[in-house]
Amino acid sequence: MTNYEAALTKQIGYNPARNYAAAAGGGKRKSKHAWKNILAGGIAGGIEICITYPTEFVKTQLQLDEKAKPPKYSGMFDCAKQHMRASGVRGLYKGLPVLLLGSIPKTAVRFSANAQANQSLQAIAPDFCNNNKLAKSLLAGLLAGFSEAIFAVCPMETVKVKFINDMNRAQPQFRGLFHGCGIIVKQEGFGGLYKGLTATLLKQGTNQMMRFGVYESCWSAHKPWLPAWTPDQVYTAMYGGLAGAVSVLGNTPLDVVKTRMQGLDASKYKSTMDCAVKTYQNEGISAFYKGTLPRMSRVVIDVAIVFVLYEEVLKVLDKFSPE
């Protein structure tokens, strides 16, 4: 350690060895305690969605804008402007309670399932995991994505999309979260909350596979390149943002199909594949990338914030209950 680094260690706690030690682990922090992963993930998810919800709202509006000829919105900013003009800033937060109630368990399931998958894979095939860290990260991310799709994302997203879709009607029928859920279950049964499950499984599975794979690969190859006093949180945010960007480019077509399968007009599609075929036939290949810009702007910030918050909350929890 140089004299300069020694001085930084004394003054602000910088320790280059800490950075390399974190990188050697193939990622940053994971707790062996399920309750810590669940609590840290839930808190991180709740804070994140309150920050980024307007971009999610705009993205959904653009993806549902398939009927109007010409389209109702000319783009991301026009969509936001129209809703703000009609209802003020609150117009961009319609449907937030639905997503907030879903985002907390979604992120909790994501991180706890990923940690459990990593532990299980390591126990089942230690040699393979030690020699194939990227494959391990990808598989653990895929399993985490499947878990959150089943236990949180699919019903949450279905209700969110129907709420936003219903809001665009001349006479909306949903008066609130529980009223809307009651109508959906009454009209379509409990299965109505699981419309688009196949597309959701594919979307969330590939989402988390790419995100955890890219994020943990970045930490595995990490060598501090910013000024020596740069805190680890900066790297965490950058690697998380990159992981989010890769996932958007990789599976936005699945997100478009999922959104339409969960909308109020989902009955016109026989299956996920039928939705994809009809979307292509009616609107061309570009339809599969509707809402990419607002989704990219949300997801990059989303993933960066979530990884940083998750790890910071774990640090606090470790103080109360050391490993």
Average the pLDDT over 101-115 and give the result: 90
Average the pLDDT over 304-310 and give the result: 94
pLDDT recorded at residue 149? 93
Cβ neighbours for 63, distance < 8 A, ≥ 6 positions apart: 255, 256, 259, 260, 290, 291
Q: Which of these ranges, 107-111, 173-177, 239-243, 244-248, has the smallest mean pLDDT?
A: 173-177
Alpha carbon distance 205, 146 (integer Å): 5
Digit-coded pLDDT (tens) for 308-323: 999 999 999 988 887 6
pLDDT recorded at residue 102? 78
Cβ count near 24 (within 10 Å): 11
The alpha carbon of 299 is separated from its chain's Cα centroid by a whole number of angstroms, namely 6
For helices 292-320 and 96-124, angle between their N-to-C axes, nearest 10 degrees = 60
Under DSSP, the state recorded for 94 is T
The string of DSSP letters for 185-203 reads: HHHH-GGGGGTTHHHHHHH
Digit-coded pLDDT (tens) for 139-197: 999 999 999 999 988 888 788 778 777 877 778 888 776 787 888 888 888 888 888 78
Alpha carbon distance 246, 300 (integer Å): 9
Is residue 121 helix, strand or coil?
A: helix
pLDDT recorded at residue 16? 41
Pick 218 or 168 by higher pLDDT: 218
Digit-coded pLDDT (tens) for 13-54: 444 444 433 433 444 667 788 889 999 999 999 998 888 888
Helices (H), 197-231: 197-220
- CATH class for the region spanning 31-318: mainly alpha
pLDDT recorded at residue 188? 86
Average confidence score pLDDT of the chain: 83
Alpha carbon distance 24, 263 (integer Å): 44
C-alpha radius of gyration, the chain, whole number: 21
Which tokens in the block code for residue 306?
């979530």
Q: Taking the model in full, what pTM does it have?
A: 0.74
Alpha carbon distance 165, 144 (integer Å): 29
Average the pLDDT over 231-242 and give the result: 94
Helix and strand element counts for the chain (H, E): 13, 0
The percentage of residues in the chain with a pLDDT greater than 90, rounded to a whole number, is 36
Number of residues assigned to the chain: 323
Flag whether pLDDT at 219 surpasses 90: yes
Average the pLDDT over 86-109 and give the result: 84
Q: Which of these ranges, 132-136, 146-150, 262-266, has the smallest mean pLDDT?
A: 262-266
**Locate tokens 């109007």: which residue?**
68
Judge contact between 33 and 222, C-beta under 8 A.
no
Per 3-state DSSP, what percentage of the chain is helix, strand, and coil (rounded to 5)?
80, 0, 20
pLDDT recorded at residue 116? 93
Judge contact between 156 and 101, C-beta under 8 A.
yes
Flag whether pLDDT at 252 surpasses 70: yes
